[in-house]
């Protein structure tokens, strides 16, 4: 028992008053040992974050801890008065949140915010405090900390802001660090830096980490033990290695089947039907029963906890039988292969696209420079094909999509769609062309009017484009589209807030399809979704492509999605494409140093696989002031003197791909 740092027993947290409170955490038991990384895994809404907030006693006003016990060492946290609990928070235990920008004060410098944490914990004089701030920034790998202390949060990149949050958490020398989705909003390169940093800090300080995530790749990289949470309960606890070799709960099994990869390109991804049940009810049956592909008669009685080994267990009537399970054949049937398009003319042909934003300065707002968000991008997409556009945040991916759609006026370049040059069309002619080009945005809730019914949202485009002449025809078409994207007919008479994230994204897909487009630009449509919901959207996009011959420009930083869905990949860095080619070429044998670094940073869902992460120094330069020569050379591990003098052209290699790199071209 002496090595147990945190012990949670029968924790219950309710939200709301009245007859039917939401039982967000319903009898959770878990233990975390000193120095270990314990991952809490599960879908959105299952109670992961509420468990962490209950441990920290940082519940929202409507929340209350109804029962249970939380022991940090020998201290019962739930019995402490608030003033004593404040000493524990930021002291022996600390927490970093998913979105660092909302956690940092935008009107205080980084130094002031870290200094506040140091003052509260250590009470040092100003000189000692300033030294401690520099020491903390150094410990989390922030370069030039003496300068950074005077900067504000908006002047830092996403990865830098997350490092500042970690530095603030370390100010109190915590024994337990709770990290709530610390890498979800970050690029794979920054994610790799943050995960490496956490592991290094853990080795130096010996602190334990409670990592809350829904990313199986991240869990595989860093976790010692894993707990899977579903509908307010822990349903499986296992050693991380054994969990990835043989998950014991049908829900865990289905999560692994839902993951996209290149081996499943001709298959439908496994989908967990339905949604997490409402937690404002008393359960008598297994909570996963209605969604479980292995459910049987006994599941009508709620299963108890079955201990499998000393520190492993599962909440399931099939406990211990996972080794004898046969594959769920219904879920892995192959799809019909996509019809070969052959050597058709491109549906979309973009040449030397540039989108520059002027920088105004002074009282007269004179133009003193330009932000070169997109600086000479060329690409082509054939009918029925998918081109994935990948790269770090800020590289210009979304701006390319908006430039193609003429939602942002290009500074230069040509955008040919079928027989039309979109940059030359009048506003009226372009409006008529809109039906052929649609976009699905990253955040479905932000892209829909919350005051409009779903049916009206889908019909809006039809009315604007004159797709259906009468209201009866539009309504019939709306109901057909809802059925096509897997939503019930009554969805048309409901509002967006009444749906889950995955269902809202389906509504956005239906809205895009309503006007019979030929090309859809998908801007990170699955980045905020759980693995199971992501599988639903990817299956839908692939089936629609097969049945309608749709072409996709798929903007993403999720390489596993690229491997499953894309035919070609274009890698973008600081406004320009640095490598472009067939998906098999780029993912198995990347040529450009940036592509190699990007792929090396992708977490692998394989307990046996090892990867050598290529660390990129510093952050992406500003597109307002790009480096001379090759834009990547200040961060490139193989840069030559020539790279500082001129930008390499995007040239074709013998295998058909295009690469912009002197080193690669020199080796031919």
pLDDT digits (tens, 9 = 90+) for 427-466: 999 998 999 999 998 788 888 999 999 999 999 999 988 8
Strands 348-361 and 412-417: antiparallel
Crossing angle (nearest 10°) for helices 531-548 and 250-258: 40
At 344 the pLDDT is 67
pLDDT digits (tens, 9 = 90+) for 418-428: 989 999 999 99
At 582 the pLDDT is 95
Cβ 558 vs Cβ 527: under 8 Å: yes
- The domain made up of 4-92+174-324 has a fold known as Rossmann fold (3.40.50)
Q: How many CB atoms lie within 10 A of CB 304?
A: 9
At 123 the pLDDT is 74
SS (H, E, C) 356-390: EEEEEECCCCEEEEEEEEEEEEEEEECCCCEEEEE
At 249 the pLDDT is 96
Mean per-residue pLDDT for 172-176? 91
How does residue 337 score in pLDDT terms, banded at 50, 70 and 90? very low
How does residue 572 score in pLDDT terms, banded at 50, 70 and 90? very high
pTM, entire model: 0.85
Mean per-residue pLDDT for 248-274? 89
At 185 the pLDDT is 63
DSSP-assigned letter for residue 638: T
How does residue 493 score in pLDDT terms, banded at 50, 70 and 90? very high
- Please name the residue ranges forming H helices in 123-215: 126-139, 145-148, 158-170, 188-205
Is the pLDDT at 526 greater than 70? The verdict is yes
Is the pLDDT at 340 greater than 90? The verdict is no
CA dihedral 570, 571, 574, 576 (to 10 degrees): -40
pLDDT digits (tens, 9 = 90+) for 176-225: 999 988 877 677 887 888 888 888 889 988 999 999 988 888 899 899 99
Is the pLDDT at 607 greater than 60? The verdict is no
Burial code of 463-500, b = ≥16 C-beta within 10 A, e = fewer? eebebbeeeeebbebbbebbebbbbeeebbebebeebb
Q: How many CB atoms lie within 10 A of CB 453?
A: 15
Q: What share of the chain is helix, strand, coil (3-state, %, to 5)?
A: 35, 25, 40
- Could you tell me what percent of the chain has a pLDDT over 70? 95
pLDDT digits (tens, 9 = 90+) for 106-128: 999 999 999 988 888 777 788 88
Q: How many CA atoms lie within 13 A of 344 on its CB side?
A: 15
Element (H, E) at 217: helix 216-222
For residue 513, what are its two tokens? 């399809």
Mean per-residue pLDDT for 333-352? 65
Q: How many CB atoms lie within 10 A of CB 159?
A: 24
pLDDT digits (tens, 9 = 90+) for 13-64: 999 887 889 999 999 999 999 999 999 998 887 889 899 999 999 998 999 9
pLDDT winner (highest mean) among 322-326, 481-485, 502-506, 650-654: 650-654
Q: Classify 271 as helix, strand or coil.
A: coil
How does residue 339 score in pLDDT terms, banded at 50, 70 and 90? very low
In sign, the C-alpha dihedral spanning 420, 468, 480, 451 is positive
Integer angstrom CA distances of residue 324 from 33, 98, 246, 318: 32, 38, 11, 10
For residue 325, what are its two tokens? 């399970």
Q: In terms of Cα–Cα distance, which of 347, 370, 352, 348 is closest to 360? A: 370
Mean per-residue pLDDT for 234-261? 93
- The domain made up of 348-666 has a fold known as Rossmann fold (3.40.50)
Q: In terms of Cα–Cα distance, which of 173, 144, 176 is closest to 160? A: 144
Mean per-residue pLDDT for 583-588? 93
- Could you tell me what percent of the chain has a pLDDT over 90? 55
Crossing angle (nearest 10°) for helices 126-139 and 110-122: 110
How does residue 652 score in pLDDT terms, banded at 50, 70 and 90? very high
For residue 642, what are its two tokens? 């020539």
For residue 182, what are its two tokens? 């610390």
pLDDT digits (tens, 9 = 90+) for 367-414: 888 889 999 999 999 999 999 999 988 888 999 999 999 999 999 999
Q: Report which of residues 1 and 254 the model is more confident about.
A: 254
Is the pLDDT at 341 greater than 50? The verdict is no
Q: In terms of Cα–Cα distance, which of 417, 397, 418 is closest to 408? A: 397
Element (H, E) at 124: none
């Amino acid at each position: 028992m002496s090595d147990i740092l945190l012990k949670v027993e029968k924790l219950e947290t309710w939200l709301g008053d009245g007859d039917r409170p939401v039982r967000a955490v319903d009898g959770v038991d878990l233990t975390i040992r000193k120095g270990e990384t314990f991952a809490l895994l599960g879908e959105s809404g299952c109670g992961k974050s509420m468990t962490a907030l209950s441990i920290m006693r940082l519940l929202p006003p409507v929340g209350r801890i109804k029962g249970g016990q939380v022991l940090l060492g020998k201290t019962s946290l739930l019995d402490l008065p608030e003033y004593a609990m404040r000493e524990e928070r930021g002291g022996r235990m600390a927490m970093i949140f998913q979105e660092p920008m909302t956690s940092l004060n935008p009107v205080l410098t980084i130094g002031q915010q870290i200094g506040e944490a140091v003052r509260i914990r250590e009470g040092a004089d100003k000189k000692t405090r300033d030294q401690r701030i520099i020491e903390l920034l150094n410990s989390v790998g922030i370069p030039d900390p003496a300068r950074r202390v005077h900067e504000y949060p908006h002047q830092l990149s996403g990865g830098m802001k997350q490092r500042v949050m970690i530095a603030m958490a370390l100010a109190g020398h915590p024994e337990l660090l709770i990290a709530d989705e610390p890498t979800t909003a970050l690029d794979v390169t920054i994610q790799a830096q943050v995960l490496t940093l956490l592991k290094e800090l853990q080795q130096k300080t010996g602190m334990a980490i409670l990592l809350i995530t829904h990313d199986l790749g991240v869990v595989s990289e860093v976790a010692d033990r894993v707990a899977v949470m579903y509908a307010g309960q822990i349903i499986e606890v296992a050693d991380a290695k054994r969990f990835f070799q043989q998950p014991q709960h049908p829900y865990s099994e289905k999560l692994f089947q839902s993951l996209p990869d290149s081996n499943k390109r001709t298959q439908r991804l496994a989908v967990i039907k339905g949604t997490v049940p409402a937690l404002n009810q008393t359960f008598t049956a297994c909570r996963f029963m209605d969604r479980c592909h292995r459910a049987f008669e006994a599941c009508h009685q709620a299963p108890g906890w079955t201990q499998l080994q000393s520190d492993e267990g599962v909440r399931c009537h099939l406990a211990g039988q996972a080794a004898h399970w046969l594959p769920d054949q219904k879920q892995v049937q192959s799809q019909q292969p996509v019809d070969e398009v052959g050597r058709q003319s491109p549906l979309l042909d973009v040449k030397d696209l540039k989108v520059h934003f002027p920088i105004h300065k002074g009282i007269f707002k004179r133009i003193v420079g330009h932000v070169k968000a997109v600086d000479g991008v060329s690409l082509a997409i054939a009918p029925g094909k998918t081109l994935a556009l990948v790269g770090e945040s800020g590289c210009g991916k979304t701006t390319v999509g908006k430039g193609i759609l003429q939602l942002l006026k290009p500074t230069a370049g040509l955008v040919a769609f079928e027989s039309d040059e979109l940059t030359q069309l009048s506003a009226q002619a372009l409006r008529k062309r809109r039906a052929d080009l649609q976009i699905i945005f990253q955040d479905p809730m932000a892209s829909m009017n919350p005051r409009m019914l779903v049916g009206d949202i889908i019909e809006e485009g039809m009315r604007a484009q004159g797709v259906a002449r009468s209201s009866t025809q539009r309504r019939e078409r709306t109901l057909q589209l809802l059925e096509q994207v897997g939503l019930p007919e009554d969805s048309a008479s409901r509002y967006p807030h009444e749906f889950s994230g995955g269902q809202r994204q389906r509504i956005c897909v239906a809205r895009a399809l309503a006007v019979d487009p030929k090309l859809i630009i998908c801007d990170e449509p699955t980045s905020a979704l759980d693995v199971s919901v992501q599988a639903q959207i990817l299956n839908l996009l692939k089936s629609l492509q097969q049945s309608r011959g749709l072409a996709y420009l798929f903007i993403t930083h999720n390489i596993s999605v690229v491997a499953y869905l894309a035919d070609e990949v274009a890698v973008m860095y600081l406004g320009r494409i640095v490598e472009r080619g067939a998906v098999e070429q780029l993912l198995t044998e990347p040529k450009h140093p940036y592509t190699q670094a990007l792929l090396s940073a992708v977490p692998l869902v394989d307990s046996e696989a090892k990867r050598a992460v290529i660390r990129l120094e510093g952050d992406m330069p500003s597109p307002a002031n790009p480096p001379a020569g090759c834009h990547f050379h200040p961060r490139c591990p193989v840069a030559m003197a020539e790279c500082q003098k001129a930008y390499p052209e995007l040239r074709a290699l013998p295998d058909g791909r295009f690469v912009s790199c002197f080193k690669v071209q020199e080796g031919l």
